[in-house]
Structures are given as structure tokens and as C-alpha cells.
Amino acid sequence: MKKAALASAIVSLLCLASANAFATPRAGQDAAKVTPDMIQTGSDIPAKWNLPEGNFDYVRREVMIPMRDGVKLHTVIMIPKGAHGLPMLLERTPYDASGMMPGKSPKMADAVWSGDKDWADGSTILVAQDIRGKYGSEGKYIMTRPPMGPLNPTKTDDTTDAWDTIDWLVKNIKESNGNVGMIGSSYDGWTVAMALLHPHPALKVAAPESPMIDGWMGDDWYHYGALRQVNLDYFTGQMTKQGSGETVPRDNYDDYTNFLQAGSAGDYAVAHGFGQLPWWKRFAAHPAYDAFWQLQALDRLLVAHPSNVPTMWLQGLWDQEDIYGAVHAWEALDKAGHGANNHLVMGPWWHSQINRDGWNMGPLKWPGNTTAQFRQQVMIPWFQHYLRGMPLATPLPQAMIYNPVEQRWDSFTDWKPASEQSLTPLYLQGDFGLGFEAPSGGGDNYVSDPAKPVPYLARPIPQENDRWRTWLVQDQRFVETRPDVLSYTTPVLTKTVTVQGAPIADLFARTTGTDGDFVVKLIDVYPGTVPSDPTMGGYELPVSMDIFRGRYRKSFAEPAPIPANEVQEYKFRLPTVNYAFKPGHRIMVQIQSTLFPLYDRNPQTYVPNILFAKPADYRKATITIEHGADGKSAVLLPVAGNAAL
């Protein structure tokens, strides 16, 4: 057959097949019949979907609990099936109670967020509540709503809301034994601390984890007056919507570039619409530690209104967000004579890591899951002792602090508040040495240029940054060779130097400017080679560091210009440690004037409010660190035992 004829035949067959597809059924063939059950005229989405829960091992309830002023707060309650006489664990949060306890699994341990999994073993009723004005709760949201008083003229605060919530729970949850514990981290830790100012009689035990205690002195917003400007995203995330708000959009991948191009932190905020936020307006009007901040400092309020509730003040040794609150609250209470029912716990963790896995802290690896071990072996048994009368195998010590070098928990019956510690000066020496002997004289200088600030992490530093959680343990070799960073180092240690407590930076410095910041880092320098972990060879591990804004050297409430070219003393506390510098290692102290973009740049020219410094205010300054007749700069160490190099 020729090609043309073959093609014609194929076309004819295809046409015949197509015609047969639409042909009337022949005799004997049944036509397809449409019955009424095939037709849906409404929506295929039911008005309400009810998940069958017959095989669930818990009952999930959502209720609106009324407060004394009539406002109702959205509350999620998870009750083990068949529960009778169980205690309740309450967490009050601005982070979505429903999201913390979604209840989308038959097993209670799989139906709650990671922080509650170990609690969801059938022994405890779990309760999560949205605070006022957030997510499902009624009322007005106010950032860390101040206690009733000069800053809060209403008749309610998070103390009364906790009281009213607990009162409702013990009266309405028939499966409970009437005992309540409170727990929560960060903002949720702040709500626990607020509940302790006037606790309900049914509140039997509490654990504020990494709580926001003083936002100006050293928690989320400022550190000794230096603004933590990367936390501005938290403002929009919390206050642009009742639910989860948006982060600030970025022009560049690298936040170092974004904040540098913006100018001042105030310029950055205004450019991104912060003028619409009442909190920003209050915040920006009070850059110094005035009554606005002092009246919200919970460590002071806890001492003024001490409770008898057994309380575990818990935080991480490298908490990148709230490293100040727990230890200062505990110290204030202990110093005021309330140490019997208050305990300090510090683990080898980043912020809120206690609620997640704890196998490591950045490059530091632990011999087990430290967080799970602590929850299961210490925290939960301690709570159940007060909530259910369960016996304790070992009483909780006054302080329980992890030793990251020896990789063990150390217990202390006489842990001293920082103000009562004995301190040993580790002096800056000539030729960038460091030692316990007083220096003979001299000084070292560097030029701090606000146009080229020292980064807190190796660039680029994106907005979504996996290194944020562990920036406090990042290898500091990436800045050691910068001309605006001074590094002082001891000889190789021949014996262990153990530091237990809060180091104090004590700098004597001159500047050509009229303002300036000082960053001090206490660092463990590893040997050049580490056979057990080659990646740690020469690692410069920060053990404790912080920043201090120079205008507050005499008073946090009343800033003053720095007299140019005159030696001034800058003395400030570094975060608490329990650390052993081992033989073969060296101790290093680094000093610099910027830690960017984590902290806003000091213009180094005195202006009334650094938040709104103008471009012309930002000027280079030469800083001289003295270690001689004009001042013996040092880091004062709480050394355990005798120290020698």
C-alpha cells in the first residue's frame, strides 16, 4: 500500500472510532442513569467538621474564662482520659495557645508542642491560655502589661488574670486535685513571674524559664543601654495583628547592610511604619533607665512582694535573648532572705532550649540529651512533689549549674549573689598579655568607625539566621585580626582555672569622642590541635560577654557625655558562668566598641536620644584602653580556689 493510501485509511479508522464514542446505545445496551444521590447542589465543605476522637487518650476542651472585669480569655485544656485527681500545669502565652496544643493526634504526647511532651504522660492536666488581646482572647494587648500602679491605672494585670484563671480552673475542672503549677519561657516566663506577685492559693509550684525580667538592663530590648535593634521585628510580629504579625521586609539579604543603610535605629523603625505602634512611641521616648523601665523591673517587684511558692528560676548559660532575668530575679530574692523557696538552675543551653532537644550547644557536644534528662529526672519530679505529694529522691539544691567543660551538673548549697562574690583581677598587660599580676603601665588604642562596625557574626547575616540561637558560642577568630578589636591573651595554662559566678569588666579608657560603647568578651582559646575533635583546634569560645553604653557609666537613669580624652572607668557585670579553663588552653579578653547589627551603633557623639541620631553625629573615635598608672583595666573573675598561671 502506498503511503498516501495508508494515511487515508488511518484517518478513516480514527473518525469511525470517534463517531462510535458518541453513538446512541444499540439495542440491548443500558444507558447510564443519573440518580439523586449523585447530585450535590450545596458545598462539599460541611458547616463544621468534627474529628472522631474515640481512640484519643485525652479530651481537648476550648473555653473562654472570664476575668474580674468581664474580659474572657481563650484557654485550651488537655485532660487525660479517665483522669481523676490530677494536678494542672498552666502556661499563659502571647504565642497562640491553640498552636501549642493543636490536639491533632490520638496520643496526647503527640498532640502538644515540644515543651509539653514529657508532661503529657497521663499524670497532668495541661492548660494553655492566650493572654489579653492575643489570638483567641478578648481585651486589649499591651506589651508586657505593667503591674497595676502608675504605669497601669486599670484594675487588672497579668497577676490578676493568672489569679482569676487559676480560680476558675480549680472550681470547674472536676478531674483535677485542685493544685496548679505554672511554667513558661521568655514572655511566658514573664507571665509566671507576674503570677508570683500575688499568687492564688492553689498555685503550688512555678518555673519561670528564661523570663523577661528587666528589658532595659539585660533582657530583650537593651543591654546596659545599648539597643538590641534586631528585636524590632518582634514589635511588628506581636503588634500588627491580634494573631501572628509580619516581620519587617528587607531590602538586602544581609542585615548588616540593611541596618547600616537605614542610619539610626529610630530611622529604621520610622521608615517601616513603627509610628503606628503605641508601644514604639512609649519605648522610643525612654532611652534611659527612668521610671518607665524601673517600675516594670520584676526583680524589684518580686522582692517587694515575695511569695512562698517553690520556684525554679531557669535559664541557659548562653541564652542569646534573656540571659539577665532568671539569675537576677533569683539573686534579688536570695539576698533579701527568700532563698528557701527559690532555686537557680542554669543549663548549657540557648534561649528556651529547655523545651527542645539539648544534645549540643553549637559546636559543644554533650554526653546526652541534657534538656530531656533534666526535664525527666529533675523538673517534673520536683513539680509532682508539690502538685501530687510524690517523694523526691534528691532535694533540689540552692543552685544547680551545668559545668560545660566537665560535662556535668554541679550542685551548690552556698552559691553567692554577684554582689557577695570574692573577685580576682585578671589584668590587661603590655604586648597584649593577660595575667593575675598587676601591669607595669601603658595602654593600647584602636579607632572605632561607626561606618565600619564590628559584626556579631561573620557576614552575611540574614534575617532568618540559623546561627542566631548559637551566636554566643561562635568562634571569635573572625574578628581577632580587625584593627578595631583588641585581644589580650594569657600564656598557655599549666593548671585549671575554675570560674564560678559573674565576671566583672573593669575598664579604664579614654576616647576622643563624647560617647561610646564597650564590648568585653571572656574567651577560652583551645589548643592548636584537638585530637578528639579536630574542628575545635584553636577555637576561640566565648564564655561570657556583654556590651555597655558609656553615657551610663555613672547613672543608668541620668546619662552624661563622656569628657573627651579623659580617663573614665567603665565597670559592668558579665553573664554568670560555671567554667573551667583547662591546662593547654589560654584565656583571652577581647575589647571592641560595636557588635552590629545586633546592637545599634553609638554615634560616639553625645546626643539626647541615640535612637534618633543624625548622619552627621556618627564620627570616628580613638579609644585607648589603659593598663598602668592611669588605670589597671581588668576582668574581675570569681575564681574558685587559688588562681595562678
Is residue 542's pLDDT more than 90?
Answer: yes
Q: In this structure, are residues 210 and 319 in contact, taking their beta carbons and an 8 Å threshold?
A: yes
Tell me the pLDDT tens digit for each residue of 356-365.
Answer: 999 999 999 9
- In the numeric block, the cell 529526672 is attached to 377
Domain 421-637 in the same topology as domain 58-216+292-412: no
- What is the C-alpha separation between 353 and 227, in angstroms, rounded? 24
- What is the C-alpha separation between 232 and 342, in angstroms, rounded? 33
| Percentage of the residues of the chain whose pLDDT score is greater than 70 | 95
Is residue 17's pLDDT more than 80?
Answer: no
Mean pLDDT of 235-258: 95
Give the pLDDT score at 464.
85
- What is the C-alpha separation between 79 and 1, in angstroms, rounded? 82
- What is the C-alpha separation between 441 and 430, in angstroms, rounded? 7
Average pLDDT, the chain: 94
| Amino acid found at 47 | A
In sequence order, the 6+-apart residues with CB closer than 8 A to the CB of 174 are none
- What is the C-alpha separation between 99 and 350, in angstroms, rounded? 22
- Select the more confidently predicted residue: 395 or 2: 395
Give the pLDDT score at 11.
43
Q: Is the dihedral of CA 506, 509, 513, 518 positive or negative?
A: negative
What's the helix, strand, coil split of the chain in %, to 5? 25, 25, 50
Grid coordinates given for 13:
479508522
Give the pLDDT score at 29.
55
Tell me the pLDDT tens digit for each residue of 470-482.
Answer: 999 999 999 999 9
Give the residues across from 17 on adjacent strands.
none
Backbone angles phi, psi at 302, to 5 degrees: -65, -35
Tell me the pLDDT tens digit for each residue of 172-188.
Answer: 999 999 999 999 999 99
- What is the C-alpha separation between 133 and 138, in angstroms, rounded? 5
Is residue 27's pLDDT more than 60?
Answer: no
218 membership: H or E segment, kind and range:
none
Mean pLDDT of 384-408: 97
- What is the C-alpha separation between 224 and 338, in angstroms, rounded? 27
How many residues are listed for the chain in this entry? 645
Give the pLDDT score at 644.
57
* CA nearest to 107, candidates 95, 97, 117: 117
DSSP string computed for 525-544 = EPPS--TT-GGGTT-EEEEE
Give the pLDDT score at 10.
42
- What is the C-alpha separation between 318 and 323, in angstroms, rounded? 7
Distance between the two ends of the chain, CA-based, in angstroms?
A: 103
At the topology level, CATH places domain 421-637 in Jelly Rolls (2.60.120)
Residue 436 three-state SS: coil
Distances (CA, A) of 421 to 186, 451, 504, 572, 635: 28, 40, 11, 14, 14
Cis preceding-peptide flag for 460 (omega within 30 of 0): yes
In the structure, what pLDDT confidence band is assigned to residue 505 with cuts at 50, 70 and 90? Answer: very high
- What is the C-alpha separation between 174 and 292, in angstroms, rounded? 43
CATH entry 3.40.50.1820 includes domain 58-216+292-412: yes
* CA nearest to 254, candidates 464, 20, 97: 464
- What is the C-alpha separation between 634 and 386, in angstroms, rounded? 45
Tell me the pLDDT tens digit for each residue of 202-231.
Answer: 999 999 999 999 999 999 999 999 999 999
pTM of the model: 0.92
Mean pLDDT of 420-433: 96
- What is the C-alpha separation between 556 and 192, in angstroms, rounded? 27
DSSP string computed for 84-102 = -SEEEEEEEESS-HHHH--
- What is the C-alpha separation between 505 and 266, in angstroms, rounded? 29
Tell me the pLDDT tens digit for each residue of 275-297.
Answer: 999 999 999 999 999 999 999 99
Is residue 3's pLDDT more than 70?
Answer: no
Tell me the pLDDT tens digit for each residue of 568-606.
Answer: 999 999 999 999 999 999 999 999 999 999 999 999 999
- What is the C-alpha separation between 159 and 154, in angstroms, rounded? 12
In sequence order, the 6+-apart residues with CB closer than 8 A to the CB of 108 are 56, 57, 58, 78, 80, 120, 122, 126
Q: CB atoms < 10 A from the CB of 444, how many? A: 17
In the structure, what pLDDT confidence band is assigned to residue 53 with cuts at 50, 70 and 90? Answer: confident
Q: In this structure, are residues 641 and 580 in contact, taking their beta carbons and an 8 Å threshold?
A: no
- What is the C-alpha separation between 329 and 313, in angstroms, rounded? 8
The domain ranges of the chain are 58-216+292-412, 421-637
